[in-house]
Structure 1
């Protein structure tokens, strides 16, 4: 397997919105914590916190393409690496996370502040 096939690909908020509107997103994965997910989430997303991803990978094992998001895009990038290493063919990371998506693509998605 070459290095490029292991890459997590970037996806802009605008591109994700276009694909969601066309029904072209096979699997949308939210890797934020429970408290974050309860405040806002993208429609039809699967919620598996990053810390549970390895143990719960079997829930995603048959997905060929996954778009991963978190608050700002850092945890989802790490999750994307885990998914690629676990054999998922195509993994996209939402650039800027749900925060950027809310600002750029869909202002109806509530924004929130980190508790860190």
Structure 2
């Protein structure tokens, strides 16, 4: 099974190397509108039961994102309970903005 967590530096390096994991952002739409990782898909935590596993391509990693990494950890654990290999982005978009993309809006 995939690691439970991934840090922003590792994800940034993987993206820079051309990897394209499925980025599932479980924040609320107003948060997603403020800032997001390019290519991420928004599905609020409260609607996670509506997630269609078929959206994740074969062999594609599933990375779950939120503001600081707590909601996404809950989502990651739930998705794993459903049999999916999900990984939580440690520190969420806030850490991403602080370390990887300093021009990204923060809240």
The bucket for the TM-score relative to the shorter chain is 0.7 to 0.9
User: Residue 44 of structure 1 corresponds to which residue in structure 2?
Assistant: 39
- Relative to the length of structure 2, the TM-score reads 0.88
1:61, CA displacement in angstroms? Answer: 3.3
Q: Is the 8 A contact 1:31 1:47 kept in 2?
A: yes
For the 8 Å contact 1:42–1:109, the answer to whether it is kept is: no
Could you say which residue in structure 2 is the equivalent of 1:66? Answer: 62
User: Of the candidates 59, 67, 83, which is equivalent to residue 79 of structure 2?
Assistant: 83
Counterparts in 2 of 1:1-116, with a 5 A limit? 5=1, 9-54=4-49, 56-58=50-52, 60-61=53-54, 63=56, 64=59, 65-88=61-84, 90-112=85-107
TM-score by length of 1: 0.82
Query: Could you tell me how far apart the structure 1 residues matched to 2:4 and 2:54 are?
Result: 19
Alignment gaps of 5+ in structure 2? none
| Partners of 1:79 and 1:8 in 2: CA distance | 14
Runs of 4+ in 1 over 3 A off after TM superposition: none
**Gaps spanning 5+ residues in structure 1: where?**
none
